[in-house]
């Protein structure tokens, strides 16, 4: 759910084809998160379509601070240890670990690799100079990662704790934890969520070596290809997915697939033929479901997505 679906009629239509809604807490203040939860509750009350809501927690991920949205990052930029910037040439990054661990020559991937920077200098302990290798769009809250480094961040952030506090005011709320490393995050989050379901998002290479522990500590696993595709070379994304699928016989919890499953439908009224075949392959591989994101959060074709899924589910009998 997002700006494109934040109205009662659209939520009711989506509930006919969805088992749950998802809210990305990375892009919502506590007040806005509560507003969205109340909107879903009120829209579905008395309809027989009540659905759980998954609050997608930011987890140990570096994100850009408040930054003026641009369609093209400048050719030369600086990264500052700061919360806010009003200059497109200065990217605020409110994470000390980035400045402590990044070195000249490192590549930085932003906004799911839509922007790629190379660090060329350091003007101060809290300022990095970079050249833009791949020019693309950037806005506040977009992710940042360095393929050659794992930044040392708190596993339970203050932002996540605030989102959990809001979510626990509402019934039928679940929580998804982003950027797991080894499954120990389960023991950190369980005491905070009061017995609610806890979902593991698999999107960093270290997590693949700990799938058994993650399966034990969480109630459900999502393979999230968007951020994983920014962590590993794109050409390797298929083998990483195959590695996850190969683990299915040893996993006991439901497994879902996320990341541009119907990506063309952000703009198009029908999926591509490739996406149709992909849906078949997802089911054949043994996934228990899919997670949509931009398709229904910010897309221009939300009613078309709902109509397609209604037809697909009626045809497949799922």
Report pLDDT digits (tens) over 166-218: 999 999 999 999 999 999 999 999 999 999 999 999 999 999 999 999 999 99
Whole-number pLDDT of residue 148:
87
Radius of gyration in angstroms for the set of CA atoms belonging to the chain, rounded to a whole number: 20
Whole-number pLDDT of residue 241:
98
Question: What would the mean pLDDT of 157-171 be, rounded to a whole number?
Answer: 96
Q: What is the Cα–Cα distance from 161 to 63, expressed in whole angstroms? A: 17
Lowest mean pLDDT among 76-80, 109-113, 251-255: 109-113
Whole-number pLDDT of residue 252:
98
Whole-number pLDDT of residue 306:
98
Q: What is the Cα–Cα distance from 251 to 213, expressed in whole angstroms? A: 10
Backbone phi, psi, residue 227, to 5°:
-75, -35
Question: What would the mean pLDDT of 141-149 be, rounded to a whole number?
Answer: 90
The residue extents of the domains of the chain are 1-19+268-318, 63-145
Q: What is the Cα–Cα distance from 308 to 312, expressed in whole angstroms? A: 6
Whole-number pLDDT of residue 186:
96
Q: What is the Cα–Cα distance from 281 to 74, expressed in whole angstroms? A: 40
Q: What is the Cα–Cα distance from 308 to 113, expressed in whole angstroms? A: 29
The band of 18, judged by pLDDT with boundaries at 50, 70 and 90, is very high
Most confident of 4-18, 57-71, 140-154: 4-18
Give which of 245, 55, 299, 37 is closest to 161, Cα–Cα. Answer: 55
Per the model's pLDDT, the better-predicted residue between 270 and 157 turns out to be 270
Prediction pTM value: 0.88
Q: What is the Cα–Cα distance from 57 to 169, expressed in whole angstroms? A: 16
* Residue 318 confidence (pLDDT) above 90: no
Whole-number pLDDT of residue 60:
83
**Average model confidence (pLDDT) for the chain?**
96
CA distances to 67, 215, 247, 294 from 199, rounded to whole Å, are 30, 10, 17, 20
Number of other CB atoms surrounding residue 243 within 10 Å: 14
Whether the Cβ atoms of residue 11 and residue 1 lie closer than 8 Å to each other: yes
Q: For CA atoms 38, 12, 310, 266, give the dihedral sign.
A: negative
Q: What is the Cα–Cα distance from 281 to 115, expressed in whole angstroms? A: 30
Whole-number pLDDT of residue 317:
65
Partner residues linked to 138 by β-bridges: 70
Whole-number pLDDT of residue 199:
99
Whole-number pLDDT of residue 316:
80
What is the CATH topology of the domain spanning 63-145? Answer: M1 Pyruvate Kinase; Domain 3 (2.40.33)
* Residue 155 confidence (pLDDT) above 90: no
Whole-number pLDDT of residue 16:
96
Share of the chain above pLDDT 70, in %: 99
Whole-number pLDDT of residue 242:
98
3-state secondary structure labels for all residues of the chain = CCHHHCCHHHHHHHHCCCCCEEEEHHHCCHHHHHHHHHHHHHHHCCCCCCCCEEEEECCCCEECCECCCECCCCCEEEEECCCECCCCCEEECCCHHHHHHCCCCCEEEECCCCEEEEEEEEEECCEEEEEEEECCCECCCCEEECCCCCCCCCCCCHHHHHHHHHHCCCCCEEEEECCCCCCCHHHHHHHHHCCCCEEEEECCHHHHCCHHHHHHHCCEEEEEHHHHHHHCCHHHHHHHHHHHHHCHHHCCCCEEEECCCCHHHHCCCCCCHHHHHHHHHHHHHCCCEEECCHHHHCCCCHHHHHHHHHHHHHHHCC
């Amino acid at each position: 759910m997002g700006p494109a679906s934040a109205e009662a009629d659209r939520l009711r239509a989506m509930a006919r084809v969805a088992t749950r809604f998802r809210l990305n807490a990375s892009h919502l203040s506590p007040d806005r998160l509560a507003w969205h939860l109340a909107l879903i509750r009120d829209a579905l009350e008395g309809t027989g379509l009540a659905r759980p809501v998954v609050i997608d927690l930011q987890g140990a991920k570096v994100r850009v601070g408040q930054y003026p949205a641009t369609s093209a990052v400048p050719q030369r930029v600086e990264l500052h240890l700061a919360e806010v910037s009003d200059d497109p040439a200065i990217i605020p990054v409110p994470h000390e670990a980035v400045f402590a661990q990044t070195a000249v020559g490192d590549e930085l991937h932003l906004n799911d690799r839509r922007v790629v920077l190379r660090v060329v200098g350091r003007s101060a302990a809290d300022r990095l100079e970079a050249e833009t290798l791949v020019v693309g769009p950037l806005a506040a809250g977009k992710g940042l990662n360095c393929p050659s480094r794992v930044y040392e961040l708190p596993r339970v952030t203050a932002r996540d704790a605030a989102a959990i506090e809001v979510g626990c005011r509402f019934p039928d709320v679940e929580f998804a934890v982003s950027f797991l490393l080894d499954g120990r995050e389960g023991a950190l989050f369980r005491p905070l969520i009061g017995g609610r379901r806890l979902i593991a998002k698999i999107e960093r290479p270290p997590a693949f070596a700990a799938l058994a522990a993650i399966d034990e500590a969480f109630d459900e696993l999502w393979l999230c290809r968007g951020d994983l595709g920014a962590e590993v070379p794109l050409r390797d994304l298929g083998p990483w997915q195959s590695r996850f699928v190969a683990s299915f016989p040893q996993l006991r919890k439901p497994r879902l697939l996320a990341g541009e499953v119907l990506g063309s439908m952000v703009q198009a009224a029908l999926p591509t033929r490739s996406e149709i075949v992909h849906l078949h392959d997802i089911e054949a591989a043994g996934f228990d479901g899919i997670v949509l994101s931009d398709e229904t959060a910010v897309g221009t074709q939300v009613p078309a997505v709902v109509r397609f899924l209604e037809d697909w589910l009626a045809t497949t009998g799922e």
